[in-house]
Structure 1
Amino acid sequence: MTTTRYIQPGKSTDLFNRIVQRLTKLGISVLGSRVLGVRGRKSGELREVPVNLLSHDGAQYLVAPRGETQWVRNLRAAGQGQLRVGRRVDEFTYRELADDEKPVLLRVYLKRWKFEVGAFFDGVDASAPDETLRRIAPGYPVFEVRPA
C-alpha cells in the first residue's frame, strides 16, 4: 500500500497565503507568485490559491511542495486552469512530469524558494545529489504549464 504525501497548511501559512494572494490579485507578484484558479472537481466552482510559477529553460512549471494538495487534485480532474497576476489572466493546460524529469526542476525550485518551502522537503535542499532528488520526486507533483 502506498500513501499519498500531503502536508496540510497551518494557520500561519493560511494567513501568509491570503496576503500573497491579495497582493498578486492587485498586480504585485511576490517573487513570481500567481493566483492559480482551477474548477473544483466536486463543486465545479473556481478555487484559487497562490502558487510560485517557476521559469526554467524557456518553460514554466508549477511545483506542489506540499504534495497531493487540493489544487493538484482539482487540476488533474479539470485538465486546465488559469494563472492570474493583477488583471492579467492566462488560461493554460499542462503536462504532468514523470518522476525522472523532476530532479532538475526540484533543484531550481529549491534554489529560488527554499526560504519559503524548505520545511516541506525534509532537509533536502538544492545541493542534494540527483539520486536524493529522484528518490523524493514521487511526493512532489510538477506540471509544465502550456498556453491554452
Structure 2
Amino acid sequence: MDTSTRYLRPGKGDLLLARVVAALTRRGMSLWGSRILSVRGRNTGEWRSTPVNLLDFDGEQYLVSARGHTQWVRNLRVAGTGRLQVGRRIEAFGATEVADDEKVAILRAYLKRWQFEVGRFFDGVGPKSGDDELRRIAPGHPVFRVS
C-alpha cells in the first residue's frame, strides 16, 4: 500500500465507539486525552468534528492520525487552524504538519499511550519497534504540532 495516501475507513464498530467517546468528551469526560477536533471543511467551509487523542510529548502537543490521510487531516492541511474541545472548554489552535523524519519519537510515544486503542492501524508496529520500522510507517500517519 502506498503510505503517502494511506487511509483506513472506519467500520461500524469504530463509528459507534467514536460516537460514545465524542459524547463523553463533549460532556467533559476526556478518555485518555480525548478531545473533539473541529476543523473547517476544505470545500464547504463548514465545521467538521471528530474525536481525537491529543498527545502531550516533550513539552508540546500533537495530533496523530492513526487511520492515515483522513478527512480531518486533509481539512487541517488546508485550514491550518482548528478547535479542540473537552466539555465546555474550547481552545483554538494553529497546526504545523511534522515532517516524516521527525515523527519517530512522536509515533513511539503515541503508540505507548494508545496502542490498546489504535495499534491495529499501525501494521504490527508498536512502541517497542525499532526506529527503522517507525520511519517506514511514518508517511502513512500524518502528525500535526498544535500551538
Structures share a fold, TM > 0.5? yes
- Aligned CA RMSD, in angstroms, stands at 1.2
Runs of 4+ with deviation above 2 angstroms: none
- 1:143 matched residue in structure 2: 144
1:115 is the counterpart of 2:116? yes
Structure 2 unaligned regions, length at least 5: none
Structure 1 unaligned regions, length at least 5: none
- 2:58 matched residue in structure 1: 57
Matched to 1:13, the amino acid is: D
Query: Displacement of 1:56 after TM fit?
Result: 0.6
- 2:125 matched residue in structure 1: 124
Task: State the aligned residue count.
Answer: 146
Task: Give the fraction of aligned pairs with identical amino acids, expressed as a percent.
Answer: 61
CA gap of 1:74–1:12, structure 2 versus 1, over 3 A, is same
- 1:11 matched residue in structure 2: 12
Contact 2:4 / 2:139 at 8 angstroms: preserved in 1? Answer: no
Query: Displacement of 1:103 after TM fit?
Result: 0.5
Distance 1:2 1:108 in 2: 20
Matches within 5 A, 1:73-84: 73-84=74-85
TM-score (norm 1): 0.96
Distance 2:91 2:3 in 1: 35
Matches within 5 A, 1:93-108: 93-108=94-109
